[in-house]
């Protein structure tokens, strides 16, 4: 895998109109345990029983880590981050897959994998789980061949909105560099967009997924665009006070930028408000990154 510029441990805090872009939060202890933490478990309503399921494991390159939702629940969104546990080498990590986990019964959790030069590689996977809302389904596209850095757009059926989504990229020295709700900047997205990069190929195969359901009043999707000459691009785009994160995504726009982190962050973890955490890096600057957070 290519050698990237050294990743700094934090980015400068930035204020935004619709939320707060806080500094990047890095690092997590390696564990094979599955944790389910209380998100906001209303007895009724569109996000009934919502919990955050998380699993962390030390794995090899391209080895998937999968977390399951509690019985009877489905993923409404999810994300992941990867690390080698050493700040000096944290810039040599790339997500290659982050998407809903499915079997013959349907979607049941979230799965992700990554690549890295140094080892051990640690991947943490998050699933935002609820009892299925009205109109729930997963739209899919398999093995589409696209130009590197070109988008694969998966669209929800007419009348439905995208709550989450993801994808996987295939190839040799590849990475996932975009996974976000679309159209870009829409307050009511009905698409999920993914893209990737392979340093040795002009084209690559990509799978795309959009988690769709009927519209829900009070759900907001916020976008923030950030450009920096620092070695790291990203941060935490926070929900408004008293709102809970239910999804999010990221798109990095540098020629060979890669996503290292794109995942939900709860107030209990951040010490502030819920939000969506993004971390990306690449060989050249400046870096451009769009952060997305969906809150309720």
Q: Are 224 and 290 in contact (CB under 8 A)?
A: yes
Q: Out of 18-27, 89-98, 270-279, which region has the weakest mean confidence (pLDDT)?
A: 18-27
Token duo for residue 194: 């993914």
Higher pLDDT, 253 or 106: 106
Class of domain 34-295: mainly beta
Sequence ranges of the domains in the chain: 34-295
pLDDT band at 103 (very low <50, low <70, confident <90, very high): very high
pLDDT at 34: 40
Quick check: 108 pLDDT over 60? Answer: yes
Q: Check: pTM over 0.95? Answer yes or no.
A: no
| Alpha-carbon distances of 222 from 11, 23, 107, 249, rounded to whole Å | 20, 18, 25, 10
pLDDT above 90 as % of the chain: 59
């Amino acid at each position: 895998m290519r050698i990237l510029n050294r990743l700094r441990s934090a980015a400068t805090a930035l204020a935004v109109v619709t939320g707060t872009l806080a500094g990047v939060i890095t690092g997590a202890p390696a564990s094979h345990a599955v944790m389910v933490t209380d998100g906001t478990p209303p007895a009724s309503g569109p996000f009934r029983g919502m919990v955050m399921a998380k699993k962390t494991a030390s794995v090899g390159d391209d080895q998937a880590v999968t977390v399951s939702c509690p019985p009877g629940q489905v993923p409404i969104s999810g994300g992941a981050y990867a690390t080698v546990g050493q700040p000096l080498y944290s810039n040599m990590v790339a997500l290659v897959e982050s998407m809903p986990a499915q079997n013959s019964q349907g979607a049941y959790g979230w799965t992700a994998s990554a690549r890295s030069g140094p080892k051990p590689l640690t991947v943490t996977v998050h699933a935002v789980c609820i009892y299925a809302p009205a109109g729930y389904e997963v739209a899919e596209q398999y093995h589409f061949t696209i130009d590197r850095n070109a988008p694969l757009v998966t669209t929800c059926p007419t009348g439905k909105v995208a709550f989450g989504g993801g994808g996987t990229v295939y190839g040799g020295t590849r990475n996932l560099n975009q996974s976000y709700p679309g159209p870009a900047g829409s307050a009511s997205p009905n698409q999920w967009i993914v893209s990737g990069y392979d340093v040795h190929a002009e084209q690559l195969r990509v799978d795309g997924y959009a988690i769709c359901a009927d519209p829900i009043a009070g759900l907001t999707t916020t976008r923030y665009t950030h450009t920096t000459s620092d070695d790291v691009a990203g941060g935490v785009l926070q929900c408004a006070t008293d709102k809970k994160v239910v999804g999010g995504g990221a798109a990095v726009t540098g020629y060979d930028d890669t996503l290292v982190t794109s995942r939900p962050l709860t107030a209990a973890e951040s010490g502030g408000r819920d939000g969506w955490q993004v971390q990306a890096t690449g060989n050249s600057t400046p870096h451009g990154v769009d952060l997305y957070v969906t809150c309720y």
